[in-house]
Amino acid sequence: MRLDFNLPEDVEEVKQKARKFAIEEFNDKTASRHDLEELYPYELRKKAFEAGLVRIDNPWGVLLTMEEFCRVDPGLGLSILASVFGSELLLLYGTDEQRQKYMEPVLNGSKISAVAVTEPGAGSDVAGISSKLEKSDDGFLLDGQKMFITNGTITDFFYVLARTSPPPSKEKRHHGMSVAIVDRYWPGVSVNKLKGKLGMRATDTAEIKFEGVKVPNENIIGEIGKGFYYIMTFFNISRVYVAAQSVGIAQGALDELLNYVKNSGSNEESLQFILAESASKLEAARLLTYKAASLVFQFNPDPALTSMAKYFSAEVANSVTESALEYMGQKGLLSRLERLYRDSKITEIWEGTSEIEKLVIARTLIKRAMQGDQIA
């Protein structure tokens, strides 16, 4: 048997196209301005759609576009690619009508979506949310508050996780939640942009309030009460994209460092070691990410592997940007490394903190061990 590490030609083509797009469009001036002023890049998003770079029907293409975009500028790259955030929920569990009405306009770039899970009082502990979808005569009434929602003020609708029934017991806290599609402009929905993020400042982040929002029955996704599992399945997909963000950020930092070494003609061994260590870590993170992605894209995800990719790559992104900046000194501070250093931190927080990924890894492995399985 042969393990083939080459990308298929069509994916390689998308990768090159994404790289070219990023280099041409995400120049330092544009990236700095969107970072400094916390501006969402509407125009760039449009251009990327026109260039055919946002196509979730080609998941490898999106993964590599994520990597190439984040390699040049994570804030801009993510703003563009996250405009389809959550679409997999409908792809997997939606009805034809829901897909047609909500997902298709997002995939063709005319609309934007958002996923609203986190609340002021519950992030990692998803089952601890308190938003409620209460049964009414002709559907549901949604009440609750969501926090740190990406695309919150620019989205057309939210995929909202809320309780449709109280937890049956302490052990079964994750029962009784459902996912609803909620239009941004329905009465009772209000959004408030959160300013002053450490990094990823081109992305839009908001807190959302739902006050007595009427949600029709047909806007509930899948079965009532299964929301937690849908969201976890979704995270198992989205986490490989976060891993790809991290790989891209680490590659971007390495690019800067290599460039610096090349231009300064410096041949100090300490610098060479940092370069070697960073490149090795990056390569390991990339292989892990591609392996996890490969399983996800074959509809055979391994949650342990996905979480390993997400956690490990985030750590690599953080350590590579940190040492590149440290060793380049003030030259690094004046380069886009300064931005990469701030952007990288989010990869350890969103879509499951590194601590939560470690718990997923350990618990999956322990469960398998208890079932007498062997890990591949």
Partner 1 sequence: MQLLKQVVEEFSVKEIDPVALKIEREGVTQGILNSLAEKGFLGALAPVEYGGAGLDERGYLVLLEVLAKHSPSVGMYVLLQNSLFISPILRYGTKELAQEIVPGIASGKSSGTIANYLLSGGKISIEGSSLSGTSDLVPNSSAQMCLVLAKSGNDSQLVLVDGGFSIVSDSRKLGFRGLRYSTVSFEGAKAKSILLSGGGEREVQNLYNDSSSHVSAMALGMSEAALDMAVSYAKDRQAFDAHLIEFQPIAFSIARLVSEFNVYEKYLYGISSVKEGMMLKELVLEFSRRASRASLQVHGGYGYIEDSGVERFYRDTMALELLTGNRISDMSELSKELLGGESAKY
Ligand X SMILES: Cc1cc2nc3c(=O)[nH]c(=O)nc-3n(C[C@H](O)[C@H](O)[C@H](O)COP(=O)(O)OP(=O)(O)OC[C@H]3O[C@@H](n4cnc5c(N)ncnc54)[C@H](O)[C@@H]3O)c2cc1C
Count of residues binding ligand X (CB under 6 A)? Answer: 20
Tell me whether residue 185 is exposed, middle or buried, using C-beta atoms within 10 angstroms of its C-beta: 0 to 12, 13 to 18, 19 or more.
exposed
Question: Which residues neighbour 248 within 8 Å (Cβ) at sequence distance 6 or greater?
Answer: 66, 67, 68, 69, 70, 71, 74, 77
Largest CA distance in the chain: 74
The residue annotated as part of the active site, out of 13, 351, 355, 357, is 351
216: helix, strand or coil: strand
Q: Which of 39, 58, 48, 31 is nearest to 83 (CA)?
A: 48
353 binds ligand X (CB under 6 A): yes
168: partner contacted, choices partner 1, ligand X, none (Cβ within 5-8 A by kind): none
CB of 365 to partner 1, least distance (A): 17
Residue in 62, 129, 149, 208 binding ligand X, rule: CB under 6 A: 149
Catalytic annotation on 351?
yes
CB contact at 8 A, 21 and 53: yes
Q: Which CB sits closer to ligand X, 319 or 353? A: 353
Give whichever of 170 and 262 is closer to partner 1, judged by the CB atom: 170
Taking CB under 6 A as the criterion, which residues in 193-232 touch ligand X?
Answer: 197, 200, 205
148 binds ligand X (CB under 6 A): yes
Residue type, 172: K
Q: Minimal CA–CA distance to 126: which of 229, 239, 241?
A: 229
The residues binding partner 1 (CB under 8 A) are 32, 36, 118, 121-125, 128, 147-148, 170, 194-199, 267-271, 318, 322, 325-327, 329-334, 338-339, 341-342, 345-346, 348-350, 353-355, 358
118 lines the binding site for ligand X (CB under 6 A):
yes
Three-class secondary structure of residue 285 per DSSP: helix
Interacting residues toward ligand X by CB under 6 A:
115-118, 123-125, 148-150, 197, 200, 205, 346, 349-351, 353, 355-356
| Residues carrying an active site annotation | 351
